[in-house]
Chain A
Amino acid sequence: MTHLQFLAAIVVSASEDAIVGKTVDGVITSWNPAAERIFGYTEQEVIGRPQSFMCPPELAGEFAEIVGRISRGESVPQGDTVRRRKDGTTFPASVSVSLIRSEDGTLMGVSSITRDITEQRKRADRLLEANKSLLEANKNLEAFTYSVSHDLRAPLRALSGFSEALLEDYGDVLDEQGQEYAKRIRAASEQMATLIDDLLHLSRVARAELHPQWVDLGTEAARIAEELQNHEPDRNVHFAIERPVRVRADRTLIRTVLENLLGNAWKFTSGRDEASIEFGTRPTGDGTICCYVRDNGAGFDPQYVGKLFTPFQRLHTTREFPGTGVGLASVQAIVARHGGRAWAEGAVGEGATFFFTLDTKEPK
């Protein structure tokens, strides 16, 4: 035995897969320990026997086909099939067959490697199962979302609609206090409608399909700044916007991020005579880009920074600053879906900075 043959023998005997040598006609010539373990036959029991016992009777044709292919000199593709153990039980198997030729090319025999893929199959089945229940859960979520949007809104419509009708049709018989109460009912129901809308929006953001493309965040930010300014032309806000800031992102969703962050900055600087809002980036050195939106507004107590990105958590009363507390939760969800991270820094009365990272290699 040459050194190489010796090594090969060790590999064969140590293999986890059944390695079986056969003649061209399919008579067993070698049987490694893994074959013994997998099939349950000892070497003595099988050497010299035709290979057909290894496969369930209904698949007997498979071997005939393999033998046929080999005798015609064709290769045998690797494939998944079923094999039979000594006790008659069967197992899913991955089988690859190779031809053994002598140095001058004469076909000497066949070697097959059989792997018991029961565990693999089970894992794949479990994955499939998990995937199926995930899809199911998603479908339930869709139904739930639809139901929330439809059914929860119906009573709100009645509250808002009839309090409005009360004010319009019976305003003259209600005194000032009565009218005030009706107004409050209407305002509260409209507030709840907004909450439901925002919640639905959040759930859609979390599930929406991403369509990544190159987007210049600077241009988007400038547009949003213009919209904010147009909406409240009396406010004096200085915008400093870095551009271009090219990232790969879903345009609609990433715009939502900027709308929320710039909208917040706009809102929380409302008490400043000289408000300034900045959109920029800072280097990271790891192939991502770190964007930030900074303002010199009301800021927040860093002690509560953890609450900022939680849905419906607010650090300010609606009397101070209106809002539902969903904007930053949406930001967080969208950034996370893009594989990035969002966080905030700030102090009471000293403004706030919101950061988010996105993957970006410069476009070619």
Chain B
Amino acid sequence: MTTRPILLVEDNPDDVSLTLRALKKNHILNDVTVAYDGAEALECLFKEDSGGRTSYGLVLLDLKLPKVDGLEVLRRMRADEHTQTTPVVILTSSGLEEDIAAGYHDGANAFVRKPVNFGEFAVAINTLGMFWLLLNETVPE
């Protein structure tokens, strides 16, 4: 099975580093592309090159982003047939943000509160039934 890469959309380098660490700790070894703002994320998602578009197995999406905000990225993804069903996990930094995002109907698939908590992360991935999409080490380190 080919494993599709993960797109991490996050502007804060500390959060990027902590999230990458959490992925590793959860034995998720897919390639991770990092987009540091919303515009970059859209480019990653919709850019056509010789091999066609990159199809991501999972998008981890921060809400408050430079240039194009997270909800707008989500809206654009949902409006496009190629990314319509791509699982999106919103990374929230507060309960307040979760409220704001939850009010958004074309919704995300799950919410994970930052810093990416291993347990929560595993639950979110489980909920999405995504273990098969992501490469798991069979034997934990």
Q: Is there contact, CB below 8 Å, between A153 and B18?
A: no
Give the nearest-CB partner of B12 in chain A.
A154
Looking at the assembled complex, report how far the CB atom of A269 sits from the nearest CB atom of chain B, in whole angstroms. 29
Does B40 count as interface, using CB distance less than 8 angstroms? no
Q: Is there contact, CB below 8 Å, between A149 and B14?
A: no
Question: Which of A218-263 touch B at CB < 8 Å?
Answer: none
| CB neighbours of A150 from chain B (8 A) | 64, 93-94, 97
Does A197 count as interface, using CB distance less than 8 angstroms? yes
| CB neighbours of A161 from chain B (8 A) | 14, 18, 115
Q: Is there contact, CB below 8 Å, between B93 and A197?
A: no
Looking at the assembled complex, report how far the CB atom of A186 sits from the nearest CB atom of chain B, in whole angstroms. 11
Question: What's the Cα separation between A158 and B14 when bound, in Å?
Answer: 6
Q: Is there contact, CB below 8 Å, between A149 and B115?
A: no
Q: Is there contact, CB below 8 Å, between A149 and B21?
A: no
Question: What's the Cα separation between A149 and B18 when bound, in Å?
Answer: 19
Question: Which of A258-273 touch B at CB < 8 Å?
Answer: none
Q: Is there contact, CB below 8 Å, between A160 and B93?
A: no
Residues of B that sit less than 8 Å from A by CB: 12, 14-15, 18, 21, 64, 93-97, 100, 114-115
Residues of A that sit less than 8 Å from B by CB: 145-146, 149-150, 153-155, 157-158, 160-162, 164-165, 197, 200, 204
Looking at the assembled complex, report how far the CB atom of B60 sits from the nearest CB atom of chain A, in whole angstroms. 15
Q: Is there contact, CB below 8 Å, between A165 and B96?
A: no
Q: Is there contact, CB below 8 Å, between B94 and A157?
A: no
A158 and B18 in contact, given A146-B96, A149-B94, A149-B96 (Cβ under 8 angstroms): yes
Give the nearest-CB partner of B99 in chain A.
A204
Q: Is there contact, CB below 8 Å, between B95 and A157?
A: no
Looking at the assembled complex, report how far the CB atom of B18 sits from the nearest CB atom of chain A, in whole angstroms. 4
Q: Is there contact, CB below 8 Å, between B96 and A157?
A: no
Question: What's the Cα separation between A149 and B98 when bound, in Å?
Answer: 11
| 9 shortest interchain CB distances as A-B pairs | A149-B94, A158-B14, A161-B115, A161-B18, A157-B115, A149-B96, A153-B93, A150-B93, A150-B64
Q: Is there contact, CB below 8 Å, between A162 and B93?
A: no
Q: Is there contact, CB below 8 Å, between B14 and A197?
A: no
Looking at the assembled complex, report how far the CB atom of A169 sits from the nearest CB atom of chain B, in whole angstroms. 8
| CB neighbours of A158 from chain B (8 A) | 14-15, 18
- Best-buried of A150, A162, A204 by chain B (most CB within 10 Å): A150
